[in-house]
Amino acid sequence: MPSLNPDEKLLQVVDGLAGAGFERIILVDDGSREETRGYFERAAAAHPGCVVLRHNKNLGKGRALKTAFNYFLNHRGDDLGVVTVDGDNQHCAEDVAACAALLEQRPDSLILGCRSFSGPDVPARSAWGNRISVWSFRLLCGVKVSDTQTGLRAIPWRFARDLLDLPGERFEFETNMLLETRRREIPIAEAPIRTIYIEHNATSHFHPLRDSLSIYRLLLRFAWSGIASAVCDFLLFLLLNRLLSSQGAAVRLLAATLGARLVSSAVNFLLNRACVFGRRAPVGQSLVRYYLLCAVQAAASYGGVLLVTAIPGFPTALAKLLVDGVLFLISFHIQREYVFERRGEKARDRRGAEV
């Protein structure tokens, strides 16, 4: 349980967890002010199984969770995993126990305690933030969850060990955790929990603007490569289309499409491999898959623009934007699912974990 500048609610959470049967509780003081540190000591004094780990200064929720994971792994014994809980009393002890029980049933899965955001007491920033992130995860990353912001998670010990190396020191760490489940093919199971907001979430250290930008930085990286290469493709297409203006429409569009796609595809492949999807599949394998996709996409772009520009007075530039906008979304999913995906990674990761 990471906490920054806690109050009486921290003691209520610890008492509730102990009452629900949790014997080992790890508190992380993430650089709290001196006048609030007494709450950690009171919790530890009241419950012998409660330990306090302390950061000298505020390092962020992600770092606090990693500190707790490291301690847990060094003192794990036969435990299957660890449960993360927020310290502001927004998680009922019964729901925490339910997530732990579900992890016992599914010891290889990440368990998420998921809230409902349809109630009248849910703050607007939380409701809208979750809706946007849910659809972003589903559309851009292929991760289907109903609550991306939940702090109640039951994590298998092997996955907790992998998370020690995961980038992210603040709230973006929890987002990166969800993305990492896809890379490592970790199943996700959801447990419905009660939705509790105390004083409209006034004690939360989540800042909608600052931390949303931090969270979506990784997601935006997926789109950045495509946009950069699309701009390159679009400008080259317009240039070649102008240079070949003396040619017939069919020849001009074909040459402009192929020339622009040849250059922009090389740019896109290098960016995707280095910055977006990572070097997961062997370069030769991913290169063949990528250019097979490019050939199909170029043909679709040419045919689509030719078809749209057959409409009297329809601008070529607008036709190009419309057609390639649709193809961009389709291409992204194919690249994520097939081009840069390395089959059999899950088995190799598990063999490595066993060693």
pLDDT of residue 54 exceeding 80, the answer is yes
Give the pTM.
Answer: 0.69
Q: How confident is the model at residue 13 (pLDDT cuts 50, 70, 90)?
A: very high
Residue 20 to residue 271: CA distance in whole angstroms: 50
Side-chain-side CA neighbours of residue 202 (13 Å)? 5
Q: How confident is the model at residue 351 (pLDDT cuts 50, 70, 90)?
A: very low
Average pLDDT, the chain: 84
Residue 198 to residue 200: CA distance in whole angstroms: 5
pLDDT tens for 114-161 read 987 666 666 666 666 667 777 777 776 678 888 888 889 999 999 999
Residue 167 to residue 177: CA distance in whole angstroms: 9
Both structure tokens of 229:
């290469």
pLDDT of residue 46 exceeding 70, the answer is yes
pLDDT at 280: 64
pLDDT at 24: 95
Residue 44 · residue 71 · CB < 8 Å: no
pLDDT tens for 73-125 read 999 999 999 999 988 888 899 999 999 999 999 999 999 999 876 666 666 66
pLDDT at 355: 32
Q: Comparing C-alpha atoms, which of 148, 178, 162, 138 is closest to residue 333?
A: 138
The one-letter amino acid code at 282 reads P
pLDDT of residue 344 exceeding 50, the answer is no
pLDDT at 346: 45
pLDDT at 217: 63
Residue 289 to residue 269: CA distance in whole angstroms: 11
pLDDT at 278: 65
pLDDT at 35: 95
Spatial strand order of the sheet with 188-192 comes to 81-84, 153-156, 110-114, 188-192
pLDDT tens for 211-269 read 455 455 655 776 788 788 889 989 999 998 889 888 888 888 889 888 888 888 888 88
Residue 301 · residue 324 · CB < 8 Å: yes
pLDDT of residue 352 exceeding 50, the answer is no
Share of the chain above pLDDT 90, in %: 43
Q: 355 versus 342: which is more confidently predicted? A: 342
The one-letter amino acid code at 269 reads F
pLDDT tens for 170-196 read 878 888 898 889 878 899 999 998 876
Q: 54 versus 145: which is more confidently predicted? A: 54
